[in-house]
Chain A
Amino acid sequence: MLLTAEDTKTATKISRLKKTEEHSGHQDSKIASVVPVKDKKLLEVKLGELPSWILMGDFSPSGIFGAFQRGYYRYYKYINVKKGSISGVTMVLACYVLFSYSFSYKHLKHEWLRKYH
């Protein structure tokens, strides 16, 4: 199943499952400062490691479902407020439009260079 980069970004951006020891003070840094690439958040991955980071992501069905769940809960804080506004739903619809665009890209590709439609 094809995954967009959006999903993997969401998955690892908010994966707090393994707390990195880098935050816990410098005295422990010598012992456990090596975090596996797989568990790093996106902004902490170095550019050369990016392909291996993408490939080592959890693409099993439960992993993908976990990614969607984490993304949903992260998004839910825009909805579950007493005085929510239209922008919460608009974000989802904008993502839906981009998602559908990726499906129709194959058909639209031929339209760009045509002079007469």
Chain B
Amino acid sequence: MNENLFASFAAPTILGLPAAVLIILFPPLLVPTSKHLINNRLTTTQQWLIQLTSKQMMTMHNTKGRTWSLMLVSLIIFITTTNLLGLLPHSFTPTTQLSMNLAMAIPLWAGAVVMGFRFKTKNALAHFLPQGTPTPLIPMLIIIETISLLIQPMALAVRLTANITAGHLLMHLIGSATLALSTINLPSALIIFTILILLTILEIAVALIQAYVFTLLVSLYLHDNT
């Protein structure tokens, strides 16, 4: 049973070749681009949503930070579409793989930190010591602040992985519990089915929220460092 529970998270392969690449490349097909001013309904809706989120996200940055707007908006669109597509039956969610989330988190975080150290060295180093700390505590606090800086990419990646994976796993478990109980005791199976519906709504919310949190934190690191 253990093998079957986690089997859905295994990366799909076609005769040993990774098909995960194909699945990662699928979401852009759902977001059409167009060179017309007035588009069809799908394109208009998506453009409106993208403008809404980009305005919301990028107002807090200065000019230098806004050069990252393409990166951040494409990041949030990618994570949202990938998470939402993962809620379909039998589909594979690339964001459940820690490798992919690390690949997203580490370069973005490193870019923001290196930029901060290069252009505003004094400000970036000043983050390591909060204002007004008592003098004996300074060495310890610098160590703690360094660790909290270095752990940021790990936290970003693990947060996204754990949330999405846990949600999928919980849905698998409750779904199989519903199926197993449906033959034994029908009312309890219906109760558990209600729980499944609520979980699905939660999962949709989690998919959206996780994308938002990821991108928000990256933009926060950017704001500190520009």
Contact = CB atoms under 8 A, between A and B. Distances in A.
Q: How large is the interface on A (under 10, 10 to 19, 20 to 34, 35 or more residues)?
A: 20 to 34
A96 B40 contact: no
Contact of A107 (B7, B19, B29): B7
A58 to B, nearest CB: 19
Contacts of A96: 26, 85, 88, 91
B26 A79 contact: no
Nearest to A68: B29
Contacts of A104: 7-8, 12, 90
A100 B91 contact: yes
A24 interface: no
B84 to A, nearest CB: 10
A103 interface: yes
A104 B23 CA distance: 14
A88 interface: yes
Interface string B1-23: 10010011000101101010001
B180 interface: yes
B40 A80 contact: yes
B88 A84 contact: no
A112 B35 CA distance: 49
A83 interface: yes
Contacts of B4: 107, 110-111, 117
22 contacts: A2-B14, A79-B40, A79-B42, A82-B41, A84-B40, A84-B41, A84-B42, A85-B41, A93-B85, A96-B91, A97-B89, A97-B91, A100-B23, A100-B88, A100-B89, A101-B89, A101-B90, A103-B90, A103-B92, A104-B90, A111-B4, A117-B4
Given A82-B40, A107-B4, 18 more contacts: A1-B14, A72-B29, A88-B42, A89-B42, A92-B29, A96-B26, A96-B88, A96-B91, A97-B89, A100-B23, A100-B91, A101-B90, A103-B19, A103-B92, A104-B7, A107-B7, A110-B4, A117-B176
